[in-house]
């Protein structure tokens, strides 16, 4: 029994260290962003699209901020998705002040489609420019260079997708620390695989792609019935090594308002996990192998510590656990420095164990659920 447990532990540890050092470590330690060059001369127009439902509290702040972007030609298109608050009045007042602001008001959503995908589709259809940059009403770009940075791979490199990072505002409390940790892990996953030319997702808080491509693929065809996935499932379905770029620069990110209670956060994450079951098989395998080996690593390590009666094998197991934690800490530190400009990271050992429990409980529930909702 103990010999089998040791074999299982070493196999799981080998997989974990392979992912950490080869897959995630390559991006963390060796990725260097392309320096700005004089070749950034294709300053074609960009449409920023925001699908907003009852976001009156945010629109008054977001729209003036977007108008300060340092880019010569862009429009901001807000799709007001059946809001029942003051969103329409606020947008009407703002449009009289800003010529670049365009508004689409949705009065109803057809039953056979999901709300946010319908809102985004209407917005993209009437957008003026081919480069579409998506964000949410509760997001804020951290710099005036956001449009320029995020759209550069589309405009200058002929890419179809540009994947950006969407961070969350730092607040006190355990929930916010969990959100910060989980958000960084997710970024490490899709930036690392994107750097390995195997993109599998992006986040709608900060995502750029081509209108022509979107229309050519008939919008969200085959995805309409799935609640959520307007960002990651669309990228997962069509992103390739050749047509996708990652944008890892601190002045290209957005910061969003995080959930402030566990109920809302779990509802949001359930929706995200629900979309994950529609990923391509190869992407589910590469993510699933890491997650499964993570679970087996911790479970077998705890089992060995309980069953062993001498200190040497226990010391070996604990040594590997702490070595993995330090390696993970360094990776998160380096990735956060690349993406957000700061390397400050909360201690990983506790949150790594907590994340494993959270992933396998909430993730399983979201994966197996039949219905989820946007708002």
pLDDT tens by residue, the chain, 375 residues: 668 999 999 999 999 999 999 999 999 999 987 655 545 678 999 999 999 999 999 999 999 999 999 999 999 999 999 999 999 999 999 999 999 999 999 998 888 888 899 999 999 999 999 999 999 999 999 999 999 999 999 999 999 999 999 999 999 999 999 999 999 999 999 999 999 999 999 999 999 999 999 999 988 888 888 877 788 999 999 999 999 999 999 999 999 999 999 988 888 888 788 788 899 999 999 999 999 999 999 999 999 999 988 999 999 999 999 999 999 999 999 999 999 988 777 667 888 988 888 888 877 776 666 655 545
pLDDT at 38: 47
pLDDT at 40: 63
CA distance 234 to 192: 19
Q: What CA–CA distances, in Å, run from 309 to 315, 316, 356?
A: 11, 13, 27
Phi, psi of 52 (to 5 degrees): -125, 125
Strands (E), the chain: 46-52, 74-81, 101-106, 131-135, 139-141, 161-163, 166-168, 207-210, 244-246, 254-256
Pairing of strands 207-210, 131-135: antiparallel
pLDDT at 112: 80
Phi, psi of 51 (to 5 degrees): -90, 115
CA distance 65 to 144: 9
364: three-class secondary structure by DSSP: helix
Other Cβ atoms less than 10 A from the Cβ of 172: the count is: 7
Angle, alpha carbons 192-195-200 (nearest 5°): 70
pTM of the model: 0.92
Pairing of strands 244-246, 46-52: unpaired
Residue ranges and CATH numbers for the domains of the chain are 2-29+282-368 (no CATH), 35-260 (3.90.550.10)
């Amino acid at each position: 029994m103990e010999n089998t447990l040791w074999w299982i532990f070493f196999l799981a540890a080998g997989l974990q260290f392979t992912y950490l050092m080869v897959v995630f470590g390559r991006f963390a330690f060796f990725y260097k962003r392309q320096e700005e060059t004089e070749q950034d001369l294709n300053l074609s127009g960009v449409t920023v699209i925001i699908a907003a439902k009852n976001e009156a509290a945010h629109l008054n702040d977001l729209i003036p901020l977007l108008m300060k972007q340092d880019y010569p030609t862009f429009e901001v298109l807000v799709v007001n998705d059946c809001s029942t608050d003051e969103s329409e009045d606020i947008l009407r007042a703002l449009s009289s002040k800003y010529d670049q602001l365009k508004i689409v008001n949705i009065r109803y959503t057809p039953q056979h489609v999901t709300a946010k995908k319908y809102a985004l589709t209407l917005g993209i259809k009437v957008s003026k420019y081919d480069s579409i940059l998506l964000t949410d009403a509760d997001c804020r770009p951290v710099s005036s260079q956001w449009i320029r940075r995020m759209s550069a791979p589309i405009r200058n490199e002929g890419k179809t997708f540009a994947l950006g990072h969407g961070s969350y505002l730092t607040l006190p409390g355990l929930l916010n620390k969990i959100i910060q940790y989980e958000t960084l892990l997710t970024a490490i996953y899709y930036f690392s695989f994107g750097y390995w030319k195997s993109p599998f997702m992006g986040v709608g808080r900060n995502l750029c792609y081509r209108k022509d491509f979107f229309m050519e693929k008939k919008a969200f065809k085959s995805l309409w019935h799935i609640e959520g996935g307007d960002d990651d499932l669309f990228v997962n379905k069509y992103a390739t090594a050749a047509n996708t770029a990652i944008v890892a620069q601190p002045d290209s990110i957005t910061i969003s308002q995080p959930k402030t209670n566990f109920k809302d956060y779990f509802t949001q994450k359930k929706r995200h996990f629900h979309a994950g079951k529609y990923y391509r098989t190869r992407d589910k395998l590469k993510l699933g192998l890491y997650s499964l080996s993570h679970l087996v690593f911790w479970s077998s390590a705890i089992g060995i510590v309980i069953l062993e009666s001498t200190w040497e094998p226990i010391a070996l197991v604990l040594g590997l656990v702490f070595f993995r934690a330090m390696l993970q800490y360094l990776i998160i530190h380096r990735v956060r420095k690349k993406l957000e400009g700061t390397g400050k990271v909360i201690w990983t050992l506790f949150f790594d164990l907590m994340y494993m429990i959270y992933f396998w409980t909430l993730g399983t529930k979201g994966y197996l659920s039949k219905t989820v909702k946007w708002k």
